[in-house]
Amino acid sequence: MKILSIQSAVAYGHVGNSAAVFPLQRIGVEVLPVYTVNFSNHTGYGAWRGPLISPDDVREVIAGIEDRGAFPQIDAVLSGYQGGEGIAEVILDAVARVKAANPRAVYACDPVMGNAKSGCFVAPAIPILLRDRVVPAADIITPNQFELGFLTGTEPDTLESTLESVELIRATGPRTVLVTSVERPDREEGTIEMLAVDDTGAWIVQTPLLPLKANGSGDVTAALFTAHYTTSGDAADALARTTSSVFDLLERTHASGERELQLVESQESYANPRMQFTVRQVR
């Protein structure tokens, strides 16, 4: 499998491609990483160095990959955080070109906007652009529950309302939806859930809620789910494998006391997930 991953990169720590590439490689995926920024560290520190890469330069890198004849072998295009408005058109153009070369290829979009605790942390134009232009072009999307609400103009909280919101977004284009950070009022205390929905059904999985903020964990989640689902076409299995790997990554990070993901130290959890959580079909 080959994935063209168009995301940010940092030298220190793990977010964007700096979070997604290694776990994908560890499960046997050939990754073609294209960077949209090249920062010293993620912006959550409040200070960083390094350049935003212009949309024209990103387009040139992708064109160079196309020149090498790689597009017919690409199975998926993956995108995450979009720092500016111009990059969306570059990504959508790349998706169209890849699909023209390989009609079986899919586009997986992590529509990064914010979360329930912090609210939106992207430029004001980005959520609207994602909702109106980018998400409808995607085959797979991986929003958190907060982002799903914005995309659909709803306030999903119960399982039923979250499923209804998923169906609203599926009607706009993407057939496969992974909802992360699902927090239902009636869930068991100290837990959190993920929900996966495609044409064959809907599945939910519950894990302990760990007391940490882990920048980049969503990027790992989107990458692993995209790879597992694209390989197998089995949403329940992809959900189980992704959940197992990401929970062990987060648990190891929490135990380390470090702020950054223990990405390399957790590599066995990607290659051989423990499959320790039960996935339950809910539709």
- Tell which residue, 164, 165, 194, has the closest CA to residue 179: 194
Q: Fill in the amino acid letter for 92.
A: L
Beta bridge partners of 182: 193
Give the confidence band of 217 by pLDDT, cuts at 50, 70, 90.
very high
pLDDT recorded at residue 119:
67
Q: How far apart are CA 198 and CA 51, in angstroms?
A: 38
Helix (H) or strand (E) holding 194: strand 191-198
User: Quick one: average pLDDT of 146-172?
Assistant: 96
Beta bridge partners of 52: 37
Domain coverage including residue 69: 2-281
Sign of the CA dihedral running 203, 157, 142, 12: negative
pLDDT recorded at residue 82:
82
Structure token pair of residue 208: 């302990």
Model confidence at 226: pLDDT above 70: yes
Contact between 169 and 151 under an 8 Å Cβ cutoff? The reply is yes
92-106 as b/e: b if 16+ CB within 10 A = bebbebbbeebeebb
pLDDT recorded at residue 113:
87
Lookup result for tokens 């197992």? 244
Contact between 26 and 241 under an 8 Å Cβ cutoff? The reply is no
3-state class (DSSP) for residue 212 = coil
User: Quick one: average pLDDT of 87-103?
Assistant: 97
Q: Fill in the amino acid letter for 238.
A: A
CATH number of the domain encompassing residue 93 = 3.40.1190.20
Torsion of CA 132, 230, 226, 242, to 10 degrees: 140
Model confidence at 178: pLDDT above 80: yes
- Tell which residue, 82, 90, 76, has the closest CA to residue 37: 82
Q: Fill in the amino acid letter for 222.
A: A
- Tell which residue, 263, 33, 283, 15, has the closest CA to residue 159: 283
Quote the number of domains for the chain. Answer: 1
Sign of the CA dihedral running 93, 97, 103, 108: negative
Contact between 6 and 53 under an 8 Å Cβ cutoff? The reply is no
Mean pLDDT, the chain, whole residue set = 95
User: Quick one: average pLDDT of 121-130?
Assistant: 82
pLDDT for 24-79, tens place per residue? 999 999 999 999 999 999 999 999 999 999 999 999 999 999 999 999 999 999 99
DSSP 173: S
Q: How far apart are CA 8 and CA 83, in angstroms?
A: 9
User: Quick one: average pLDDT of 154-163?
Assistant: 96
Q: What is the pTM of this model?
A: 0.96
User: Quick one: average pLDDT of 240-245?
Assistant: 98
